[in-house]
Amino acid sequence: MATDLRPALGGRDAAETQRRLLDAAERLFAERGFMGTSIRAVTQAAGVSVSAANYHFGSKEALLAATYGRAIIPLNEARLARLTELERRAGDAALPLTDVLDAFLRPVFESPDDASFRGLAGRLFSDPPEIVAALKQEYFGEISERFVAALVRALPDRDEDEVKLAFQFVVGVMVHVIAGQVETNPTPPSSDVTETEELLAQMIRFAAAGLQA
């Protein structure tokens, strides 16, 4: 499991200060990216001092890591819980492909319908690689390994390298959707359960067809 970079809480005031900083950082990093966001801009948006930000996080890079950690760690925990249960139920049998994809994608749709969260997800794949490469490994290294292994198990006739590449395509489609780039009404993720389920079902069908092609 990726290291939890969320800072330890040190009392009610400290917790509130950290929450305000993380809320502001999430919004600004999503809107402007890492390079376009300064610590001063975050602290002004949060209504706290620069010294408070330095005390709680130490650097802009650490603040970015904590911001992603707060959003991604619960998402990955949900993914791994679903996959572990799926593997438990399957025993030694092959894993159903669509169930593996559901375990990976569904937690995204169950995350809060928040524009900053969606924008932050997109920035992870558009900010400079030297900024986000370590974060991607930290937060998605284990997830990628577990799900690629599950997909290989679900597709025993496919070459592992092909599955790895196809999984990257699945991630690309997921980021496109959660960043709000799909032309549908309402824009996903939606508060309408029927709309959300239909979009998720279409994504799973699309991903399954691509993996099996």
Q: pLDDT tens digit string along 95-137?
A: 999 999 999 999 988 876 666 777 888 888 788 888 888 888 9
34 falls within a domain: no
- The one-letter amino acid at 12: R
Q: Is position 55 within any domain?
A: no
- Of the CA atoms within 13 Å of residue 14, those in its CB half-sphere come to 10
What CATH code is carried by the domain that includes residue 102? Answer: 1.10.357.10
pTM: 0.82
Residue 207 maps to a domain: yes
Q: Band the pLDDT of 4: cuts 50, 70, 90.
A: very low
Domain presence at residue 51: no
Return the pLDDT at 5: 43
**Mean pLDDT in the chain?**
86
Helix 50-57 with 60-90: angle, nearest 10 deg:
40
CB 43 within 8 A of CB 50: yes
Instruction: Give domain status of residue 149, yes or no.
Output: yes
Our count of domains for the chain comes to: 1
Is residue 113 within 8 A of residue 189, CB to CB? The reply is yes
Cα 71 from chain centroid? 7
Inside any domain, residue 16: no
| Domain-embedded: residue 42 | no
Q: Domain limits at 188?
A: 68-212
Query: What is the model's pLDDT at position 45?
Result: 96
- Please provide the distance, in angstroms rounded to a whole number, between the alpha carbons at the two ends of the chain: 31
165 assigned to some structural domain: yes
- Quick check: helix, strand or coil at residue 189? coil
Rg of the Cα atoms in the chain: 18
